[in-house]
Amino acid sequence: MDLGISGKNAIVCASSRGLGKGCALALAEAGCNLVINGRDEAALDASAKQISASCKVSVTPVAADVSTAEGQRALLAACPSPDILVNNNGGPPRKDFRDIDRAAMLEGVVQNMVTPLELIQATIDGMTERGFGRIVNITSLSVYMPIEGLDLSSGARAGLTAFLAGVSRTVAGSNVTINNLLPGKMDTDRLRGGMTASAKGRGISFDDEAARQVAEIPAKRFGTYEEFGQACAFLCSAHAGYITGQNLLVDGGLYTSAF
- Burial of residue 94 (number of CB atoms within 10 Å: 0-12, 13-18, 19+): middle
Question: Looking at residue 66, which CATH number applies to its domain?
Answer: 3.40.50.720
Are 75 and 88 contained in the same domain?
yes
The answer to the question of residue 254 being in a domain is: no
The answer to whether 30 and 233 have CB atoms below 8 angstroms apart is yes
Tell me the C-alpha distance between 233 and 24, whole Å.
9
Distances (CA, A) of 84 to 28, 116, 185: 12, 13, 25
Count each helix (H run) and each strand (E run) in the chain, helices first.
9, 7
Mean pLDDT of 84-90: 95
The answer to whether 9 and 32 have CB atoms below 8 angstroms apart is yes
pLDDT at position 46, please? Answer: 96
Output the average pLDDT for the chain.
96
The answer to the question of residue 3 being in a domain is: no
pLDDT digits (tens, 9 = 90+) for 198-210: 899 899 999 999 9
pLDDT at position 239, please? Answer: 98
Q: Residue 190: which pLDDT band, with cuts at 50, 70 and 90?
A: confident
Tell me the C-alpha distance between 70 and 227, whole Å.
32
Domain count of the chain? 2
pLDDT higher than 90, residue 259: no
Domain of residue 20, residue span: 9-184+224-249
CA atoms within 13 A on the CB side of 91: 27
Percent of the chain with pLDDT over 90: 89
pLDDT at position 147, please? Answer: 86
pLDDT digits (tens, 9 = 90+) for 132-187: 999 999 999 999 998 888 999 999 999 999 999 999 999 999 999 999 999 999 99
pLDDT at position 148, please? Answer: 85
Tell me the C-alpha distance between 186 and 228, whole Å.
9
Are 212 and 140 contained in the same domain?
no
104/91: higher pLDDT: 104
- Beta-bridge partners for 37: 62
Are 114 and 86 contained in the same domain?
yes
The answer to the question of residue 84 being in a domain is: yes
- Beta-bridge partners for 186: 223
Distances (CA, A) of 152 to 111, 185, 189: 11, 18, 19
Are 178 and 194 contained in the same domain?
no
Q: Residue 227: which pLDDT band, with cuts at 50, 70 and 90?
A: very high
pLDDT at position 189, please? Answer: 86
